[in-house]
Structure 1
C-alpha cells in the first residue's frame, strides 16, 4: 500500500508564511492605533474631568521637555475668563555672552553694533560677573542688536522675553533697553545708592518692588505678551495689571533692540520670542478660580467677576442726569479682584520655578453630570509631575451644616 509522502519543508514554509502575514497584520493594527490616538490627542476618551486632566498633563509634559532641552523658562497660562489653558513657550532668538575673540558677535553670527564709548571690559578689578561684559559708561553709549531674518519665530507669536545680568554704575533715570513699541526697560526711580526698575509695553507698566544697589550684579528678566507684562529682578516677580478692555503687544518683526541710556554693565544677554505652542480649550468642563463657589460658576453667575470694578457709580448730571442703567454688582458671595489670567512658571530644568512657586500649583475644574456638580483638583507638583483627584469640596468651600442627629433614648429633656 502506497503511503502519501508528507513534505515537511512545505509545511514549515506554509507555517512561516502564515506567521509573517500575522506579523504584518499586527503591525498595521499598531500603526493604525497610533495614528488614531494621535488624531484624537491624549485623554480623548473617558469622563470629561479625567479627559481634560489628561490633556493638561500632556501639555505640562511638552512644556517640561521644551524647558529642559532648550534650557529656557516656560509658562502655562490659565485663562479663567475663556476656559482655556495656553502653553507659552520661549524660542531663543539670540544671545550675547560678550566673551571670546569676537565679543560683539552673538549666537547665529548676529553682529551687534556698539556706539559712543561702549566697550567690552574683561578686567577682574571691575567686579565682572564672568569672563567679560559690555560696559556702557555714559548715557550716550549704546549697543544695538539687529533683527535678523533667520530668527526662529515659528508658532503663534505672542510677545518677547528678554533676560540679562545688570550692574548699575549710576543713579540716572532713563532707558536700559528698548525695542521700538514692543517694550522699554527703564530706571523708574533713583536715589543716591540704588535704583528701581520698570518695564512698559503698550501703556502697561510693571514696577519692581525691590531696589537694586549700585555697583552690584543682579539678574533682570522681562516677558511681555497679551497674557501679561512681567518683570523679574533677582527672581522677585512683579506683574502689571492689564486693562479690562484687553491688551496686545506690537509685533517685534524687523525691530532692532537697543541697549543703553544709563551708565551700567550688561552681561549674558538673551532674547526669546514668546509663542503659544499649544492651546487647550476645555470641553464639557469649566475652570474655576480660587474663592469662587462651584454652584455660582456652574450657573454662569461668576463670568463677569473679572471685569467688575468695585468703584462707586459716577454722579448724575445736574439737569438731565445719566439715563444709562449701571451694571449690577456681582453676587455678594463672589470674591472681588479675581485675576482673569494666572501663570504657572517652569524653570530651565522643566520643574516648577521655585522663585515663583513656594510649592505645588493647582488647577480646579468642575463639570455638571445629571444635575450634580463634580469637582476635580489637578496638582502640578514641584518636580513637574501632574496628578488629579475628585474632591467633595474645594479648599475655600465651606462644608454644609450637618443635619441634626436624633437623640438617643433618655437624652431628651
Structure 2
C-alpha cells in the first residue's frame, strides 16, 4: 500500500470498520470488533492503518503481561462486549470503538463554527496527524453544490487544475484548497476552514455533510504525499489545442483561431462539470464552443486556401467554421480521415444548441440522441457528466491526431527552398 492506493488493483482506499483477529504468543486468539481499517473501493482488500496497529499492539502487550490477578488493573482499558459473530477460535472479543478513546483523547483545535466531521479520519487515515494544532488536517465533507457560489460569484474564482484537486480564489488572492473524492463530495481541511471569516464558515456549514471516510484523490496526494497532480482532462484538452494552433502558426504561417482578450476570458470558464444538471452542462458547452468553434479564423483560413489552392475558390465561398477548417486540414495532413476525426467538433456545436434549449423538446431529444450515438454512448444517456467527460476525451484525441498528422516536413522543405 502506498498512501491511499491499493497495492493489488491501484484503486483508492477509504476508512471502514470491521473485525480483526489476533493470535497471541500463547496461541490464544482474540478479536477486535468495529476496528478502523483501510478498504479498497475496487477489490475490497483490507489494510491496517498505523493508528489501528499501534493500539492493537499495546492492548496485546497488556493482555500477555496480565498473568496474575495483581496485574488485572492493567487491562481495564479493554471493554469486553458480546460479538454477534460466533467463532469458537476467538476466545474474547473487544470493542475497539471504546478502546480507542483511551488512546486518542486530545482536544481538537478551537472552532468558531461547529462542523460535521469524524475524528477517526484524522487518527486513522495515513499522514494526517500533526504534533501541532491537533485536528488541523481533519477532512470536512460537503455536497458538490458548495462550489456553485465560487463558480458564479463575481468576487471569486475557481480553478480545478486536476480532476480531483482545485483552488478557490477571492479576487487575485488564494482563498482555500479543496479536493473531490470518489463519491463526488468536496473535501477541505478543518484547519483551513477555521482560518476563514465566520460568515464564510457559515456558508460552508450549510452544505456540510457527514464523513464518508473517503479522501483518496489528487488533493490528498498533493497536500499529504507532495505528489504533483496530473492536469485535469479539460486543461489537457486546452493544452493539446494550443499545441495544434502553435504548430500551424509556426509551420504554416496561419492563425487557426482568432486570439483576443475575449478568448482568454472564455478559457477561464472551461472547467470540470461537477453537477448533473443541464445548467451546469450549458455552462461548459457554451464557452467550450466559443473557444473551439466560434473562434475559428475564417478570414485567414479562407485567404490561405485561396493562395495555395486557387482551384478551390468557388468551393470555399460558402464554407466557414468547422467545415472550412476541415477542408484546410484535408489539404495539409496525411494518413488521417479528417471527416471522421473532426466529428467531435460538430458534436460540440450540436450539444451547445441542445444545452441552450434552442429547439422544441422533441427536436432537442432527437439531436441529443444523435450526439450521444456519435460519442459512442447509448442514445438514451442523460447523465450530463458522462456526456461532457466523453466529449472532452474525444476532443483531446482529435487534437492529438491533428498534431501527429500535419505535413510539417513538407512545410520545412518548402521553407528551406525559399531561403
The bucket for the TM-score relative to the shorter chain is under 0.3
Higher relative contact order (CA 8 A, sep 6+): 1
TM-score (norm 1): 0.25
More strand by share: 1
What TM-score does the superposition give when structure 2 sets the normalisation length? Answer: 0.25
